[in-house]
Structure 1
């Protein structure tokens, strides 16, 4: 989760330098696919599986989430965007119960709803909610569905193949945007593109690995650890700090999320 936030911070610097967010998203998928392909040990028998509609669905969900969060980061502080993004665990928690039949409990349901109240404090729907925060919430919905799709497919595919498939398919989906006009590719820009790609790919590879043995409803709350990273990186890199109401919402989200993880580990 910390790797993913670092990748998004690098992408934010790129969009701030004039690179379109869809181009940045494409570089994230394409470069990560090229760099990680030698380590994923793609087998000839797996080439045909790349056409599996389920893999396209999963890749489409993560593509939508990344494009939306990069759009949100163009106008909103990093920590606030991740606050809105944390509608994702609520989506994943209930969707995993409906789609995968995974168990939900009353206590963890209450805690996730409390964390959703924290999201509302950050997003403030109807009370000055911006377009950027709307994209942050949409990114969270995409990501919550992506978590469930990953859990759904994890038993059927190798973890490294799942990672490589989402990178290849994502790069194909976003390929038309690879030809947009962009600023000059300086060494600094190329370095940020590399950090953006490797941060996202590394974080998602670890997520695929843990999904092989752990229910989505348990994994989903772990993304709350991104809040701390977003606050620290937002302050250190961009000089951003949430206002009092947003900070209160972020604290509520973090406490409820950590509590949910604690109780999930004890079967409650």
Structure 2
């Protein structure tokens, strides 16, 4: 192994070994915390859409309120303003806006765990997209594990065997999120994390404003007072932590960590909505989770 290969191997090992310099367990914990916060935000969103609110209005609230919350803390400078018109940031925002609108639409009719099962096409898109666009290294073992996870996604979605429109929206949301992860990794070194997050929140809120006005609710639902801010905070903080982690962790390591969302979705779905996946969906979720854990272990060994 040459010197460069030895350094790369050492960096990968350090993901799961806190005694080694560089990437350590706090980075992994940061991604896991981000995943839980994102699921919590979507749980709040499902609460609102389940009580009759339009997904576009809920998505607008998530972006606009989070932008207002972050703006005073973003350290925005005059020289940062041109970044809001950077086509790369606009493309990244388009992916996350479309993904959030799609997943909120899916959550109107589908159990949250099933939606996140379909959503887990995201790591596949992220992994192979990063290889194609960012030239990140791929291996046969990681590729096989991600494809096994995709087989689990098919068990949840069941295309051609009673697949519902809601699961189609969940698949689309996952595809958009995978592309968002690729662009986040692409731009992580070009802009400050807070600027990256503020740009997507402010631009997303602006783009969704006409849709929100069109679907403005005549009256707010019972859970609006807590669900509205939680939806915004969970999504914003989760994506902020993900941006920070993406500055250090390659997509090949972030991708399997994203599978932690399944555990959070199953727990919150059961506690908040009393939903539990049926036997086939549960088997698919187990396959997805197992492939994600195996992928993380493989990444930790530099494989």
> What is the TM-score of this pair, normalised by structure 2?
0.87
Mapping of 1:10-25 within 5 angstroms?
A: 10-25=44-59
Distance of 2:251 and 2:202 partners within structure 1: 24
Mapping of 1:170-185 within 5 angstroms?
A: 170-179=204-213, 180-185=215-220
CA contact (8 A) 1:19 1:183 kept: no
CA contact (8 A) 1:8 1:196 kept: yes
* 275, 279, 288: which one aligns with 1:253: 288
Q: CA deviation at 1:89?
A: 0.4
- After superposing on structure 2, the runs of 4+ consecutive aligned residues of structure 1 that deviate more than 3 Å are 185-188
Distance of 1:244 and 1:125 partners within structure 2: 16
Distance of 2:55 and 2:261 partners within structure 1: 21
SS at match of 1:135: helix
Q: CA deviation at 1:36?
A: 1.0
Runs of 5+ in structure 2 lacking a partner? 1-34
SS at match of 1:47: helix
Give 2:188's aligned residue. Answer: 154
The 1:186/1:110 distance shift into structure 2, 3 A limit, reads closer
Q: Give a deviation string over 1:69-114, Cα, whole Å, max 9, x none.
A: 0010011000000000000100111010000000001111111011
After superposition, the CA RMSD in angstroms is 1.0
Mapping of 1:137-216 within 5 angstroms?
A: 137-179=171-213, 180-185=215-220, 188-216=223-251
Q: CA deviation at 1:48?
A: 1.4
Larger radius of gyration: 2
Give 2:28's aligned residue. Answer: none
CA contact (8 A) 2:106 2:169 kept: yes
Aligned residues: 268
Which range moved further: 25-34 or 209-218?
209-218
